[in-house]
Amino acid sequence: MLIRIRKAWDQLRDSEATPEAVFLDRRRLMTLAAAGTLFAVGACDAADGPARAEGAASGSTGAAPDPSASLYPAKRNPAFTLDRPLTEEQWASTYNNFYEFGTHKQVWAHADKLQTRPWAVVVDGLVAKPATFAIDELLARVSLEERLYRHRCVEAWSMAVPWTGFPLAALLAKVEPQSAARYVRFETFNDPAVASTQRQPFYPWPYVEGLTIEEAANDLAFLVTGVYGKPAAPQFGAPLRLALPWKYGFKSIKSIVRITLTDQRPVSFWQELGPDEYGFWANVNPAVPHPRWSQAHERVLGTEERRPTLLFNGYGEQVAGLYRGLEGEALYM
Ligand SMILES: Nc1nc2c(c(=O)[nH]1)N[C@H]1C(S)=C(S)[C@@H](COP(=O)(O)O)O[C@H]1N2
Ligand SMILES: [Mo]
């Protein structure tokens, strides 16, 4: 039994629906109402224009210069090509999902409160060599490259971005996963003093995502440290985020502090909030609608264009094999 929270987005077109506008499990709603913690979840911000504010697109927050700046731009890996133009940086950096800093799209104006140095990433769980990496030490031990990737948000907008980073597999190799490890669980920072939405107990913070070990080993699974030829600005999920271009964007978790190898399938932030709408796999598929809108087309960020969505967001050649024998699973939500 589901209850829908009615908000301004009810009047919006399907393509502008946002995942925060979830149907809530009745029990969760009742529990929260009883505890007095229920509030209306944020409405989608219908103002789509890129903010033209100074500094929105820069990697610098006016604080100390980024210590990794000299690593950029990294050499572009020509294996990753696009079927469309790159999204303008001004758009990609002023239209973001980063719920920790707000449920609207203009989080860039708040995300610069995030201190991205010092920053440590713990890699633990079912590994032979658990480790804590200071971000700049990690950057010194990997080889950065630039990849042009498409990105498809479950809300039916898309962009094409030049990410800089390194394959997730390169990090996992350093800690030597044990054979019992079947999944990789990712966790974002949790700092309510800095991230205002983390003060709202309604949400199951911290943001969590997960992959199978086979997905994590796929060459497309990319850990991002930079974008547009420089260190990533905080709203992109600095200093370390995932890019999983064949999956809906919510799988590409931002500002990672912990990566845990496990034999348990992780329950993600969105799955916990709306299990009837968001699943573990979340592979892009135009033929499988979201319960509240079609996934057949996407709005191309920064343009008037509406494009047909591609199965696996066009990356089927690289990833379709990961899902053979899993036809009984909810692979596309
Ligand atoms: N920690 C965290 N990671 C997150 C999100 C978030 O709210 N918090 N939003 C996700 C969603 S829904 C999308 S579409 C992408 C957006 O990435 P972008 O802002 O760089 O376009 O980040 C994903 N990663
Ligand atoms: Mo998204």
Which tens digits make up the pLDDT trace of 242-263? 999 999 999 999 999 999 999 9
- Pocket-forming residues, ligand 1, beta carbon under 6 Å: 96-100, 153, 188, 207, 236-237, 249-250, 252-255
- Decide: helix, strand or coil at residue 191: coil
Instruction: Ligand 1 pocket test: pick from 252, 253, 301 the residue with the most ligand atoms within 8 Å of its Cβ.
Output: 252
Cβ-contact 274, 257 below 8 angstroms: no
- Which residues are 4's β-sheet partners? 23
313 is in an annotated binding site: no
| Alpha-helical runs (H) found in the chain | 26-35, 89-92, 108-111, 135-141, 168-175, 213-217, 269-273, 316-319
- Sheet containing 208-212: order of strands: 131-134, 120-125, 256-262, 183-188, 208-212
Q: Can the peptide bond before residue 308 be classed as cis, meaning omega within 30 degrees of 0?
A: no
pLDDT band at 64 (very low <50, low <70, confident <90, very high): confident
Question: Residue of the nearest CA to atom 21 in ligand 1?
Answer: 96
**Tell me, what's the pLDDT at 164?**
99
Q: How many whole angstroms from 150 Cα to the centroid of ligand 1?
A: 14
Query: What whole-number distance in Å separates Cα of residue 232 and Cα of residue 238?
Result: 5
Mean pLDDT, the chain, as a whole number? 88
Q: Report the length, in residues, of the chain.
A: 333
- Rounded to 5 degrees, φ, ψ at 136 are -75, -30
Query: What whole-number distance in Å separates Cα of residue 89 and Cα of residue 56?
Result: 10
User: What's the mean pLDDT in 82-92?
Assistant: 97
pTM of this structure: 0.87
Element containing residue 149 per DSSP (H, E): strand 145-152
User: What's the mean pLDDT in 295-316?
Assistant: 98
Using a pLDDT cut of 90, give the percent of the chain over it: 80
Q: Which ligand is nearest to the CA of 155?
A: 2
**Tell me, what's the pLDDT at 50?**
52
Could you report the per-residue pLDDT of 314-332, keeping only the tens digit for each? Answer: 999 999 999 999 999 999 9
The DSSP 8-state label assigned to residue 65 in this structure reads: P
Whether 14 shows a pLDDT value over 60: the answer reads no
Residues with CB under 5 A from ligand 2 (ion): 97, 153, 249-250
pLDDT band at 19 (very low <50, low <70, confident <90, very high): low
Instruction: Ligand 1 pocket test: pick from 98, 99, 270, 298 the residue with the most ligand atoms within 8 Å of its Cβ.
Output: 98
| Range with the poorest average pLDDT among 8-12, 70-74, 316-320 | 8-12
Cβ-contact 313, 152 below 8 angstroms: yes
Pairing mode, strands 306-308 and 297-300 = antiparallel
Cβ-contact 96, 235 below 8 angstroms: yes
155 is in an annotated binding site: no
CA distances (Å), origin 249, targets 40, 133, 169: 24, 25, 20
149 is in an annotated binding site: no
User: What's the mean pLDDT in 134-150?
Assistant: 98
Question: Residue of the nearest CA to atom 10 in ligand 1?
Answer: 250
- Decide: helix, strand or coil at residue 290: strand
Instruction: Ligand 1 pocket test: pick from 96, 97, 107, 198 the residue with the most ligand atoms within 8 Å of its Cβ.
Output: 97
The DSSP 8-state label assigned to residue 320 in this structure reads: G
298 is in an annotated binding site: no
Q: Which residue has the higher pLDDT, 253 or 61?
A: 253
44 is in an annotated binding site: no
Q: How many whole angstroms from 60 Cα to the centroid of ligand 2?
A: 24
Query: What whole-number distance in Å separates Cα of residue 187 and Cα of residue 213?
Result: 16
Assigned architecture for domain 91-315: Alpha-Beta Complex (3.90)
Whether 41 shows a pLDDT value over 60: the answer reads no
CB count, 10 Å around CB of 311? 16
